[in-house]
Structure 1
């Protein structure tokens, strides 16, 4: 079964197997183009959400919980990007080291601790309610020696938390997340609040605060690594590749007719 097309002095014989093969090849870059465009839209939405929370002003842990409880959308999605600024107390001795963090081509760890809002602790003490806690990524520390020699970061007992609250902090995990050898610090693969809450006796916010300033460690976090414009550029490139695959296939199958014709004829055989 084949379809014959004639137009502008050329004829194409399109066999269905050949058409399906070309479309299958073109579908790969076309799919990548759509994915990159979607990623650009997601990054743009993330930046817009963070900018909106910046205009709202920074809050503490108590206000963060109120915003999550009052949101129409699911709490974890609604408070993503909230700006936080509060005096905090480190819940010692808890320190988690997030593995496989490369900064300036040097391996190391992100230092994650659990903190309480001091104002929240005081209010809870007077009311009898349990204070809230949150995980804070203070930044990066270089690895020391081999895999068995974990760095021991010096954590101040009190610090100022100034950062961005992110709810999407977990990804694809291969193997166990936590390497618990019975002492601190503990090496982890990703800061999963649901899992790390087992070490705490108080409620834990369902996300991670990325410290943005005033940290004893190297702050390298950026909400968006590749800007939306870069993703759209990649989407355009992959889209052009998909069109090129189809165009090359058509050019390779074209045959010049002995007489010119401006009509397109369809013939099934």
Structure 2
């Protein structure tokens, strides 16, 4: 198919037109998705800031609030570790080193159900079949950020490894499964400790900033424009002649 555009001739192949428009549509959709993610991250950051400004919750308040009200809220209080339960969340990377997040159930003062607490990161051992030995204080000063949706993604294999002894390695935090494994009626939230201890706190409520998402959106948009430009350049046959 031969067309004239702006006094220039272009020869278009139907298959290449379809492929070009498909690629362009995909890239523009990716750009739009990144813009939507930027909007979502902006809203998340605003909510975290609002909850931080409102002050920390106490454990006694949790059972009276909806999950949407406590998600991303700060919490402070005192609690007691329910020994011997320790889960090591696998594949956690901090400063380029592979390790685990140490997760324990805590009986918080004022809360009937045990609360899961992510104490922070600890380094993995060289041998995969050996787990690090972690020391847990019997009394825990709770000071962190609550999240209610923390299941994550399980790609392959089972989630919780039952070695018959603690600690046990897990691939994701699943309240129902960990409750069944421990026999504890766990409260459906996870507290990410933020105070410094023998473990390294590293949780961030927003990993990629809105600015980065907008940057990726611009990149996808420019790639879409580039696809159209390359297709037009390849089909260009020269300037139209007039007699």
Q: TM-score, normalised by structure 2?
A: 0.91
* SS of residue in 2 equivalent to 1:42: helix
* SS of residue in 2 equivalent to 1:231: helix
How do 1:102-117 residues align onto structure 2 when only pairs under 5 Å count? 102-117=93-108
Deviation string, structure 1 residues 191-238 (Cα, Å, up to 9, x no partner): 211211114555422221111114331111111222110111011011
Compute the displacement of 1:66 (Å). 1.3
Q: 1:218 aligns with which of 200, 206, 216?
A: 200
CA distance in 2: counterparts of 1:259 and 1:207, whole angstroms: 74
Q: What residue in structure 2 maps to residue 228 of structure 1?
A: 210
CA distance in 1: counterparts of 2:53 and 2:228, whole angstroms: 48
CA-atom RMSD, angstroms?
A: 1.9
Question: Aligned pair 1:90/2:81, yes or no?
Answer: yes
Tell me how many residue pairs correspond in the alignment: 241
How do 1:236-251 residues align onto structure 2 when only pairs under 5 Å count? 236-251=218-233
CA distance in 1: counterparts of 2:172 and 2:183, whole angstroms: 21
Q: What residue in structure 2 maps to residue 10 of structure 1?
A: 8
Q: 1:157 aligns with which of 121, 134, 138?
A: 138
Q: What residue in structure 1 maps to residue 120 of structure 2?
A: 139
Question: Aligned pair 1:259/2:229, yes or no?
Answer: no
CA distance in 2: counterparts of 1:220 and 1:213, whole angstroms: 10
- Give structure 2 stretches of 5+ with no counterpart: none
- Is the contact made by 2:147 and 2:191 (CA closer than 8 Å) also made in structure 1? yes
Compute the displacement of 1:79 (Å). 2.6
CA distance in 1: counterparts of 2:161 and 2:183, whole angstroms: 21
CA distance in 1: counterparts of 2:56 and 2:76, whole angstroms: 5
CA distance in 2: counterparts of 1:152 and 1:116, whole angstroms: 22
Q: 1:66 aligns with which of 55, 59, 64?
A: 64
* SS of residue in 2 equivalent to 1:107: strand
* SS of residue in 1 equivalent to 2:100: strand
CA distance in 2: counterparts of 1:37 and 1:175, whole angstroms: 34
- Is the contact made by 2:92 and 2:98 (CA closer than 8 Å) also made in structure 1? yes
Compute the displacement of 1:67 (Å). 1.6
How do 1:187-202 residues align onto structure 2 when only pairs under 5 Å count? 187-200=169-182, 202=184
CA distance in 1: counterparts of 2:163 and 2:171, whole angstroms: 15
